[in-house]
Amino acid sequence: MSVISQMIVPFVLALAGMGMFFSKKDLFSEFTTGASYGLKTAVGLLPTLVALITAISMFNSSGASQALSNFLAPLGSKVGIPSEIIPLILVRPLSGGASTALIADIFEKYGADSFAGRCASVIAGSSDTLLYVISVYFGAVGVKKARKTPLIAFIAALFCVFVSVFLCRLLF
Amino acid sequence: MIGKISGLICVLSFVFGVINGNVGQMSEAIFEGASSAVTLTISLVGTLCLWNGIMQVATASGLIEKFSKIMAPLLKFLFPDAYRKKNGLGEIAVSISANIFGIGNAATPLAIKAMEKLQQNNVDKSVASDDMVMFTVLGTASLDLFPTTLIALRQTAGSENALAVVVPIWICSFITAVLGVILVKVFCMKKVL
């Protein structure tokens, strides 16, 4: 599976190269036209990313996630969510780097094959840093009002946590 | 709403930072965060240019149109506006495929490309269109078939069966994505089917 993933990009580039070589159209100038938009998009994205990443790194350094986790742990255990993974659930929508660190921490403390380790794996693998995704997608095209996107994404992510824990109980 | 969320994060962080006595390292982290946003943007420039260029080539050679025809039934259901206006379906199809096959560096640039197409269809440019809400919600559901980083982490941690979580991840991703689609259809789109 990972071999296929690794093959795709080189294959796509070889395909494009073949097109440029054999086609009668000037595909190379198509490429440069397309590529020239990349910089403009990136520059438009920068202000959004500065705001978001600064806020996230402020959050990560404040110790807020640990404090909030202590507060939420009793609530979580009532609905069957192991308290070890609460910090991960809080951080996962916000920061990819911080969640990777938390997962490594859970694996080290409890083991990758423990119940907490498996729950953490399934949650991390089936959810994404949704705040980053939403900010980047809308920031890049200059949309100010995201409507119900963040709400729906958060509900889906919360649902994902419950499904993950349920599946781990059921399958392991 | 993103502004409100970022604002809330800053206020929460400040309060907890003061309570926990982490203010010193917080002010350092703030500037590091701002700089790392620039580093991230710079690292995105290359891939953005590359994938924009490749997409232009693929569009000019008619490949994107063929690809969008294969996925048309599904795309018609998920993105009715783009389907009606015949604009952006190919970009959406390519972006979702990149997500599924876990082409990490390509996912963001291709998604932005698709969003740009959806913005062309959009009537009020400052408000997200129905299609954009659907596309972004799908973007937040991790559709990656092979979570490479996670598996590597599990192997490093000495897991006896690092791949055991892959099938539950597929099931969970799928269920979450379906729920997201249903919520968008019911609460954002006027016509459900």
Q: pLDDT by residue (tens digit) across B46-90?
A: 988 999 999 889 888 888 888 889 889 999 999 999 999 999 999
- What is the Cα–Cα distance from A20 to A14, expressed in whole angstroms? 10
| B39 and chain A in contact, CB less than 8 A | no
Contacts of B168 in chain A (CB under 8 A): 118, 122, 126, 164, 167-168, 171
Task: Convert the pLDDT of each residue in B110-139 to its tens digit.
Answer: 999 999 999 999 999 999 999 999 999 999
Minimal C-alpha gap between B79 and chain A (Å): 15
Q: What mean pLDDT comes out for the span B5-11?
A: 91
Pick the residue of B108, B121, B136, B159 with the most A CBs within 10 A to test the interface with A by mutation. B136
Q: Which residue of B has its CA nearest to A62?
A: B17
- What is the Cα–Cα distance from B113 to A36, expressed in whole angstroms? 13
Which residue in the set A54, A136, A146 is minimally distant from B33, CB to CB? A54
Q: Which residue of B has its CA nearest to A1?
A: B146
% chain A with pLDDT above 70: 98
Residues facing residue A145 across a β-bridge: B127
Quote the mean pLDDT of chain B: 91
Task: Please check whether residue A48 is in contact with residue B6, taking contact to mean a CB–CB distance below 8 angstroms.
Answer: no
Task: Convert the pLDDT of each residue in A122-146 to its tens digit.
Answer: 999 999 999 999 999 999 999 999 9
Contacts of B16 in chain A (CB under 8 A): 62-64, 67-68
| A36 and chain B in contact, CB less than 8 A | yes
Minimal C-alpha gap between B73 and chain A (Å): 24
Task: Please check whether residue A62 is in contact with residue B22, taking contact to mean a CB–CB distance below 8 angstroms.
Answer: yes
CA angle A56, B150, A59 (to 5 degrees): 10
Q: What is the 3-state secondary structure (H, E, C) of A10-54?
A: HHHHHHHHHHHHHCCCCHHHHHHHHHHHHHHHHHHHHHHHHHHHH
